[in-house]
Amino acid sequence: MIFDLHTHSNISDGALSPNELIQRAKQFNVDVLSITDHDTIDAYNAIDQTELANINIIPGIEFSTYWRKINIHIVGLNVDINSPVLKKIVKRQHTARQERAEKILTILSQKLNIDITLDEIKQYSINNIIGRPHIAEYLVQRKLVKNIQHAFDKYLGEKKIANIKQIWLDLETIIDAINRSNGVAIIAHPAKYKLTRTKLIELINDFKTLGGQGIEVVSGKQSPKLACELGKITNDHELYASCGSDFHQPNTYSSEPGQFQRLPAECRPVWDLF
Ligand code: AMP
Ligand code: MN
Ligand code: MN
Ligand code: MN
């Protein structure tokens, strides 16, 4: 069985609609798929029942939050998408996204000496759930940067002038909301935060104390050595292991749905809990 428990649709910053994403996952023989858009569960309202043949869908979400001033992502899996707690938290995150977008646009307008309005950026998003990739796309279209990567490297990425921090709900609130929605909280792509091993263990300990249950041991194209190390850490902390492509769009260097290595054999897969 192929499980892909971390993917994005165009409801957040992916290229494919939820239905197209499911079709693509089937092309790559995914048996169990979670669409984990950034801070939204709207994809689940856009799925046609006819797409659900020959695949199992696990409702999910990727929350933006922070730990010790470091932005991190927590995936919530098998959540009840009708949960009032989840809906409330999602709404708060949307407000935070909106406020952040406005701050980013103010900075960019000043820096580039042009007027950029929120309405212009909204055209790049569906449901007005604005992420930095939408702003990057706008900058590319206006020929203010060469490409998306350049927009992050120059303005939007870590430590750049338009990177706004600490706007999200905190880790405790996010994990609590996932648990109260009957879901499982997972630390997404732990290697992406560039933490030292000591810091990573501290994050994992705090995460577990707050009710977190799993770690993404395999995230897209990563080295087998890393999966082995993360698998061991996950087992040492008696946590469950998850895996996902973090798919955003077809035909790029990043991995396609289901196209990543298997979890290390000694890991307890998170789907044991579903
Ligand atoms: P946001 O959720 O609005 O903070 O945007 C984060 C998303 O932007 C990530 O999930 C990636 O899809 C994308 N992203 C983050 N950093 C980069 C980067 N350096 N280059 C290209 N895309 C990036
Ligand atoms: Mn993304
Ligand atoms: Mn992420
Ligand atoms: Mn993701």
Task: Please identify, by atom number, the ligand 1 atom nearest to the C-alpha of residue 100.
Answer: 3
Q: Is the CB of 246 under 6 A from ligand 1?
A: no
Q: Is the CB of 220 under 6 A from ligand 1?
A: no
Among left, alpha and beta (phi > 0; psi -120 to 50; other), residue 258 is left
Looking at residue 165, its pLDDT comes to 80
Q: Is the CB of 240 under 6 A from ligand 1?
A: no
Question: Per-residue confidence of the chain (274 residues) as pLDDT tens digits?
Answer: 999 999 999 999 999 999 999 999 999 999 999 999 999 999 999 999 999 999 999 999 999 999 999 999 999 999 999 999 999 999 999 999 999 999 999 999 999 998 999 999 999 998 888 999 999 999 999 999 999 999 999 999 988 999 998 789 999 999 999 999 999 999 999 999 999 999 999 999 999 999 999 999 999 999 999 999 999 999 999 999 999 999 999 999 899 999 999 999 999 999 999 9
Sheet holding 32-35, edge to edge: 3-7, 32-35, 56-57
Q: Is the CB of 73 under 6 A from ligand 1?
A: no
Nearest to 137, CA basis, from 253, 15, 268, 266? 15
Question: Which of 13, 122, 124, 125 to mutate to test ligand 1, by most ligand atoms within 8 A of the CB atom?
Answer: 13
Q: In angstroms, rounded to a whole number, what is the distance separating the alpha carbons of residues 67 and 260? A: 28
Q: In angstroms, rounded to a whole number, what is the distance separating the alpha carbons of residues 186 and 246? A: 13
CB 171 within 8 A of CB 62: no
Task: Please identify, by atom number, the ligand 1 atom nearest to the C-alpha of residue 38.
Answer: 2
- Token pair belonging to 84: 């009032």
DSSP state for residue 263 in the 8-state scheme: P
Nearest CA to ligand 1 atom 14: 133
Number of H helices, E strands in the chain: 8, 8
Looking at residue 166, its pLDDT comes to 75
Q: In angstroms, rounded to a whole number, what is the distance separating the alpha carbons of residues 49 and 226? A: 38
Looking at residue 253, its pLDDT comes to 87
pTM, to two decimals: 0.97
Within the chain, residue ranges assigned H as helices are 18-27, 84-112, 118-122, 132-141, 148-151, 171-180, 197-209, 224-236
Nearest to 214, CA basis, from 3, 8, 1, 2? 3
Query: Can you tell me whether residue 106 is helix, strand or coil?
Result: helix
